[in-house]
Structure 1
Amino acid sequence: MPDLDLVFGGRVFCDLVMSGVAAPTIGAEVFADGFRVTAGGTATRAVAGARLGFRTALVGATGTDVFGAAVRTELAAEDRLDLRWLAELPDVHTAVTVALTNAADRSFVTYEERATWLSDALPAPLPSVGACHVGIAEGIPAWVAELRTAGTLVVGGVGWDETEQWDTAVLDRLAELDAFVPNEDEALAYTRTSDATAALDALAARTSLVVVTRGSAGAIAVDAATGERCEVAAPRVAAVDPTGAGDCFVAAFCGGRTAGWSLATSVAFAVLAASLSVQRLGGSAAVPTRAELAAAIAWHQENDSLPAGDWGRVLEHLQR
């Protein structure tokens, strides 16, 4: 057994989420119908990993300001979440994102400082880790490569490219990964393709396991080493806020692979977890619990709407 099931490294934000609203035009004012302050970014993935029953650690940084205090207070309340590598930096502003969201989409305004980006080194010795997820747009830290050499499954992701250049050189880093999980917009932009399946195949030529998330359309995946493919539709739900759904998916998928579940089971579990998260407001605050996921699985079983997968193993994990 590894010391930790999951490690998530990356940018940690304090999210100010306003729901039921779209970004205003210049000079205009709009009013939200809901508001929440919650940990965001990589913290959402870490909360999801812990809340779904996996021993999880978060690697990142906040400032010592009021926003950092809010993030740390929320994270400290989570069982199974190790914060020993969440640095607290004086004289640095915690990264803050204002999310304007409605049931269909969201817009973000973010302030962050370079000092809160992911460190290239961590204090040794590193623990043994089942799976580690990091963003790869700025490069892959040396400590992640060390974990991979020791047997950790390394999963990468990318975020929105504010330059909208989508530099294809980023894809050269996929050779340093065991799996890559972009959303559909990111996959299309980086591969210069026009549909998700073409993007999936282009990315699978660079790394062995690729999953493309598709929001309300679910997800598609391929294991290039075995040729296994799967496509999982998302259940129809009354969406409130899609913020953080992708982070919830990533955590659930990484957890499933660490637990030894099949590709189809891991993707289906991740789709289900994400579908529950969009029904509440706020990224990490909306992550479902193990009990909620178990209840959702039972409901879908009763209604004959559960995707293919080894749900017995999933329920055994959730009910531990």
Structure 2
Amino acid sequence: MPHDIVILGIFVADAAFRCDAPPRLGETVLGTGFTLGPGGKGSNQAVAAAMAGGDVGFLTRIGKDTFGAMGQETWARAGVHPLAVIDESLPTGAAGIFVETGTGKNAIVVSPGAAGAISVADVAAQAEAIGQARVALTQLEQPMAAAEAFLRVAREGGAITILNPAPAAPLPQGMLALCDYLIPNEAEAEGLTGIAVTDRDSAARAGGALLDQGVGKAVIVTLGGDGALVCDAAGARHVPPINAGPVVDTTGAGDAFNGGFATALAEGRGLEDALRFATAVAAISVTRAGAAAAMPTRAEVEALLAR
């Protein structure tokens, strides 16, 4: 059965440690809290999109273990339709997250596990579902070849294609031309262009450079607490943030934005409306601890936008 949105990405279990400051090499620090929950950019984005009202299929690879079961339970609760390969030879991945008490800023180490073996063949096996989607979204936590194949299949099927280039990595020649929308944060935009992104003006320069490299419709540079900067054929403009309350944890903010944006586009919303919707999803997510657990419902997003 086809889905409006298909997302390729990884699922990992997030082990999140709250502390006053992340430890330096050779240093031990006492934490102020710990949680174990579902994570991985692709899975977080799928949960965000589904919670926000999207019909989502999620293509990934997990192990036959406790963490893999956590992923399946997470998708079932959120209404995500798994297109998952169960790998009996590799464990489900995990991520270690250090969240700074007070600011909510984080540092993350990801070990993809089974998801690191996502292949071009896995993408080919779901070519029909990908090709029939309205929106296709991926990131760079799984192997690059699989991400590129996914975008190519989606493009050939007529889907709107979105790449969240996280974590930052050099892209194969021509891969940006497969993207209708590119959504990097400041560090990722700098990694792709060499332009240090420190404010809106530099974000606009980086966005323009990425458009020149082949992105089809728009480059959206997310700017954390300052919202986002969108660059398209009409020029560059700021997307203001929305205040949904005190910031608790920024771990899943980018994933919330990407998932919300995919849902809005799948519903046929225009760019400006989709950006506002995505900003609201992200704004609510940072007021809560965790990543997937912090994603808001459709009713919560609509209530914030109506304020």
**TM bucket by the smaller chain?**
0.7 to 0.9
- Kindly indicate whether the alpha-carbon contact (under 8 Å) linking 2:63 and 2:114 is maintained by their aligned counterparts in 1: no
CA spacing shift, 1:37–1:230, aligned 2, 3 Å: same
| 1:283 CA drift (Å) | 0.7
- Kindly indicate whether the alpha-carbon contact (under 8 Å) linking 1:39 and 1:75 is maintained by their aligned counterparts in 2: no
- Kindly indicate whether the alpha-carbon contact (under 8 Å) linking 1:119 and 1:141 is maintained by their aligned counterparts in 2: no
| 1:175 CA drift (Å) | 0.9
Give the aligned partner of residue 276 of structure 2: 268
- Kindly indicate whether the alpha-carbon contact (under 8 Å) linking 1:36 and 1:281 is maintained by their aligned counterparts in 2: no
- Kindly indicate whether the alpha-carbon contact (under 8 Å) linking 2:75 and 2:81 is maintained by their aligned counterparts in 1: no
CA spacing shift, 1:288–1:176, aligned 2, 3 Å: same
In the alignment, structure 1 segments of 5+ residues that lack a partner are 300-320
Alignment map for 1:24-39 (pairs within 5 Å): 24-39=23-38
- Kindly indicate whether the alpha-carbon contact (under 8 Å) linking 1:9 and 1:118 is maintained by their aligned counterparts in 2: no
Query: Normalising to structure 2: TM-score of the pair?
Result: 0.87
Does residue 180 of structure 1 match 2:182? yes
Amino acid in the other structure paired with 1:63: G
Amino acid in the other structure paired with 2:144: E
- Kindly indicate whether the alpha-carbon contact (under 8 Å) linking 2:181 and 2:215 is maintained by their aligned counterparts in 1: yes
Amino acid in the other structure paired with 1:16: A
Give the aligned partner of residue 40 of structure 1: 39
Alignment map for 1:1-320 (pairs within 5 Å): 3-41=2-40, 42-79=42-79, 81-83=80-82, 85-102=83-100, 103-113=103-113, 116-120=116-120, 121-123=123-125, 126-127=128-129, 128-135=132-139, 138-139=144-145, 140-161=147-168, 166-167=169-170, 169-170=171-172, 172-194=174-196, 195-205=202-212, 206-208=214-216, 209-224=218-233, 227=234, 229-236=236-243, 237-299=245-307
| 1:78 CA drift (Å) | 1.9
- Kindly indicate whether the alpha-carbon contact (under 8 Å) linking 1:38 and 1:74 is maintained by their aligned counterparts in 2: no
CA–CA separation in structure 2 for the residues paired with 1:229 and 1:256: 21
User: The residue matched to 1:77 in structure 2 has which SS?
Assistant: helix
CA spacing shift, 1:21–1:94, aligned 2, 3 Å: farther
User: The residue matched to 1:149 in structure 2 has which SS?
Assistant: helix
Moved more, 93-102 or 29-38: 29-38
Query: Normalising to structure 1: TM-score of the pair?
Result: 0.83
Amino acid in the other structure paired with 1:133: L
User: The residue matched to 1:22 in structure 2 has which SS?
Assistant: coil
CA–CA separation in structure 2 for the residues paired with 1:271 and 1:143: 26
CA–CA separation in structure 2 for the residues paired with 1:190 and 1:58: 26
Moved more, 253-262 or 194-203: 253-262
| 1:7 CA drift (Å) | 1.0
Moved more, 47-56 or 266-275: 266-275
| 1:285 CA drift (Å) | 0.6
| 1:124 CA drift (Å) | 5.4
CA–CA separation in structure 2 for the residues paired with 1:189 and 1:270: 24
CA–CA separation in structure 2 for the residues paired with 1:186 and 1:197: 14
CA–CA separation in structure 2 for the residues paired with 1:214 and 1:229: 14
Aligned-pair identity in percent equals 27
| 1:235 CA drift (Å) | 2.7
Moved more, 281-290 or 125-134: 125-134
RMSD across aligned positions (CA): 2.1
Deviations 1:266-301 (A, max 9, x none): 1111111101101111111100111211221232xx
- Kindly indicate whether the alpha-carbon contact (under 8 Å) linking 2:93 and 2:114 is maintained by their aligned counterparts in 1: no
User: The residue matched to 2:128 in structure 1 has which SS?
Assistant: coil
Moved more, 280-289 or 120-129: 120-129
CA–CA separation in structure 1 for the residues paired with 2:20 and 2:70: 24
- Kindly indicate whether the alpha-carbon contact (under 8 Å) linking 1:22 and 1:106 is maintained by their aligned counterparts in 2: no
Give the aligned partner of residue 314 of structure 1: none
Q: Which protein is richer in helix relative to its size?
A: 2
CA spacing shift, 1:272–1:20, aligned 2, 3 Å: farther
CA–CA separation in structure 2 for the residues paired with 1:290 and 1:10: 23
Deviations 1:79-135 (A, max 9, x none): 2x111x111111211110011113342111232336634321343561310100112
- Kindly indicate whether the alpha-carbon contact (under 8 Å) linking 2:10 and 2:112 is maintained by their aligned counterparts in 1: no
- Kindly indicate whether the alpha-carbon contact (under 8 Å) linking 2:61 and 2:114 is maintained by their aligned counterparts in 1: no
| 1:179 CA drift (Å) | 1.4
CA spacing shift, 1:171–1:256, aligned 2, 3 Å: farther
| 1:248 CA drift (Å) | 0.7
Give the aligned partner of residue 199 of structure 2: none
